[in-house]
Amino acid sequence: MKKASMVEGARRNVKNKTYCNFIGGKWVPAVSSRGFLDINPSDKSEIIGEFPDSDSNDVNEAIRVAKESYKFWKKVPAPKRAEVLFKVGEILKQKKEELSTVVSTELGKVMREARGDVQEAIDTAYHHAGEGRRLFGFTTPSELQNKMAFVLRHPVGVCGLITPWNFPVAIPSWKLFPAIVAGNTVVFKPASDTPLCATMLVEIFQEAGLPDGVLNLVHGKGSSVGRPLASHPDVSVVSFTGSADVGREINEICGKRLKRVSCELGGKNAEVVMEDADLDLAVEGAIWGAFGTTGQRCTATSRIILHKKIKNQFLNRFLDRVSKLKIGNALKPETDVGPVINAQRLESIQRYIEIGEEEGAKLLVGGKPLTNGNYGKGFYFAPTVFDNVNKEMRLAQEEIFGPVTSVITFETPDEAIDILNSTAYGLSSSIYTRDVNKAFRYIEESEHGVCYVNASTIGAEAHLPFGGYKNTGNGHREGSHQIYEIFTEWKTVVVDYSGKLQKAQMDDVSLNSKKK
């Protein structure tokens, strides 16, 4: 959360709006009347607004309303529920520029990427609007005569959706849209660094005609909103995207209560560059992967694994490209890399620079916050490249979530695969090679949920499953129709029209039964 204390006199300067929670179709302040400030990380003197610093009183009321609303929403036919979502897609399209500007202002994502964030939500809206006419179950023969079996999807109940700030429109859309189409109701707790994007998304649902109480929004901290939300007995499913530490906590809370939980957590993604790769392409992939969204993506390329033979060639071109990156206010069209989200992030990245140097890695470029001139206004950090990193170092193991990437060298394909899979995470990875055999071996052996060949580690699409192996999550996938495994229950239905008591496993309807 961006703290008011970071900005001198911030409260005095709140000239903009005071925002509310959205519960049961009404915009309401927190019961406590406390608030927190939303600040532009490109220019921290700009206060975007004040949002409710809610607590369990607000959460409980939102859950009560969501539980009540579930009774009617689950009965609305899915194609009708999906029509609301289709309208959401249409409104998102109309408001793309406005919303992208808010994304850019609120989190410091450059406009080009902010538009991509909103576009991902548009794609997701249309995808799930279509799912409303599918939500496929299946039929299968019964082992007994005059008996029919089919399997249906049914909603789960109240969903607690807890979302991060780095994709403040796209990631909430991954969760909200399928949850709602499937017939669930929602309590939405967005990241407190990007509350305005969440507010606008909810307004769009309101404009699209979503009935009151289906979607409820509660702003505030993880400890005072997220925790009571995950703990509440009337919340049937929790979906969380964020850090592995918080994910573990949420899993523990939900595990104790036997509650369904889906966690999308960190990554330590890598780009592998083989000796036969198109180096210009590989360099572009690494620049985009490492420094897009200022490295604040779960899918950021935080390791570049280079074949020894091409290492120098690659690095010369790569460092040349890094030196040309324009860092600045995210709203400026010429900016390539915006600020990081807040002061804590800046400090955490800085700490990793010290760790890297203590571990003996070689800092090639960057390594410090930018504070001169206009940079002093925001939370800027120089794009950073470390060399001489080995797979055991913390630099190569831990998610940094900033514009920092590490170069690791290999000599054999076995070594490359070993380094690639040597972290506790397994979200995305990529290989650059012109050799089909190397590419397929990588596809086979990479322990990552999303694998790219001759493309960057970034590039999720709405209709493809997204998620990872190992500590990246707890085995679920978002995106595509796979997400309905989180937001629906399977209901097995058996209709016996024989008019007599048939006993599965006991009645003899084998091929020989006629003879008896």
Per the structure block, which two tokens stand in for 98?
A: 């406005």
- Which residues on adjacent β-strands are paired with residue 27? 22
Dihedral, CA of residue 43, residue 48, residue 52 and residue 53, to nearest 10: 0
Specify whether the CB–CB gap between 286 and 318 falls below 8 A.
yes
Element (H, E) at 36: strand 35-39
Separation in Å, CA 129 to CA 123, 134, 448, 474: 10, 9, 29, 27
248 versus 317: smaller Cβ distance to ligand UN1: 248
Specify whether the CB–CB gap between 192 and 39 falls below 8 A.
no
- In whole angstroms, how close is the CB of 437 to ligand UN1 at the nearest point? 27
Per the structure block, which two tokens stand in for 489?
A: 């229950």
- In whole angstroms, how close is the CB of 76 to ligand UN1 at the nearest point? 30
Phi/psi zone of residue 2: left (φ > 0), alpha (ψ -120 to 50 degrees), beta? beta
Q: Is 353 in the site for ligand UN1 (CB under 6 A)?
A: no
37 versus 125: smaller Cβ distance to ligand UN1: 125
Which positions from 108 through 127 interact with ligand UN1, judged by CB under 6 A?
A: 120
236 versus 296: smaller Cβ distance to ligand UN1: 296
Euclidean distance between the first and final Cα of the chain, in Å? Answer: 75
CA 353/CA 351 separation, integer angstroms: 5
Catalytic residue among 113, 120, 131, 264: 264
Q: Is 54 in the site for ligand UN1 (CB under 6 A)?
A: no
- At 148, the amino acid letter reads M
Count residues binding ligand UN1 (CB under 6 A). Answer: 9
Residues 19-48, one symbol each (x = binds ligand UN1 by CB under 6 A, - = not), give ------------------------------
- In whole angstroms, how close is the CB of 469 to ligand UN1 at the nearest point? 16
Q: Is 175 in the site for ligand UN1 (CB under 6 A)?
A: no
CA 46/CA 374 separation, integer angstroms: 13
47 versus 298: smaller Cβ distance to ligand UN1: 298
171 versus 389: smaller Cβ distance to ligand UN1: 171
- In whole angstroms, how close is the CB of 192 to ligand UN1 at the nearest point? 17
- In whole angstroms, how close is the CB of 67 to ligand UN1 at the nearest point? 30
Q: Is 270 in the site for ligand UN1 (CB under 6 A)?
A: no
- In whole angstroms, how close is the CB of 127 to ligand UN1 at the nearest point? 14
| 20 has catalytic annotation | no
SS3 assignment for 172-218? HHHHHHHHHHCCCEEEEECCCCCHHHHHHHHHHHHHHCCCCCCEEEC
Q: Is 486 in the site for ligand UN1 (CB under 6 A)?
A: no
55 versus 120: smaller Cβ distance to ligand UN1: 120
Where does this chain touch ligand UN1 (CB under 6 A) — which range of 16-24, 90-98, 297-305, 474-482?
297-305
- Residue choice 92, 158, 215, 298 for contact with ligand UN1 (CB under 6 A): 298
Residues 414-453, one symbol each (x = binds ligand UN1 by CB under 6 A, - = not), give ----------------------------------------
- The burial of 37, by beta-carbon neighbours within 10 Å (0-12 exposed, 13-18 middle, 19 or more buried), is given as buried
Where does this chain touch ligand UN1 (CB under 6 A) — which range of 51-59, 79-87, 296-304, 496-504?
296-304
Q: Is 458 in the site for ligand UN1 (CB under 6 A)?
A: yes
- Which residues on adjacent β-strands are paired with residue 155? 488
- At 85, the amino acid letter reads L
DSSP string, 461-503: -TTS-B--EETTBSS--BSTGGGHHHHEEEEEEEEE-SSS---
Cβ contacts of residue 241 below 8 Å, gap of 6+?
Answer: 162, 163, 164, 171, 175, 263, 264, 265, 298, 478
299 versus 474: smaller Cβ distance to ligand UN1: 299
Helix axis angle, 436-445 to 413-420, nearest 10° = 30
Q: Is 211 in the site for ligand UN1 (CB under 6 A)?
A: no
| 298 has catalytic annotation | yes
216 versus 423: smaller Cβ distance to ligand UN1: 423
- Residue choice 175, 227, 259, 297 for contact with ligand UN1 (CB under 6 A): 297
- In whole angstroms, how close is the CB of 241 to ligand UN1 at the nearest point? 6
CA 485/CA 154 separation, integer angstroms: 11
Q: Is 194 in the site for ligand UN1 (CB under 6 A)?
A: no
69 versus 166: smaller Cβ distance to ligand UN1: 166
Residue 89 dihedral angles phi and psi, to the nearest 5°: -60, -45
Q: Is 459 in the site for ligand UN1 (CB under 6 A)?
A: yes
Length reported for the chain: 516
- In whole angstroms, how close is the CB of 297 to ligand UN1 at the nearest point? 3
Residue 506 dihedral angles phi and psi, to the nearest 5°: -115, -40
Where does this chain touch ligand UN1 (CB under 6 A) — which range of 202-210, 279-287, 295-303, 323-331?
295-303
Which positions from 228 through 247 interact with ligand UN1, judged by CB under 6 A?
A: none
Q: Is 79 in the site for ligand UN1 (CB under 6 A)?
A: no
Q: Is 135 in the site for ligand UN1 (CB under 6 A)?
A: no
DSSP code of 409?
E
- Residue choice 21, 54, 299, 335 for contact with ligand UN1 (CB under 6 A): 299
Catalytic residue among 298, 399, 451, 478: 298
Catalytic residues: 264, 298
Residues of the shown chain interacting with ligand UN1 in the complex, contacts defined by CB under 6 A: 120, 166-167, 297-299, 458-460
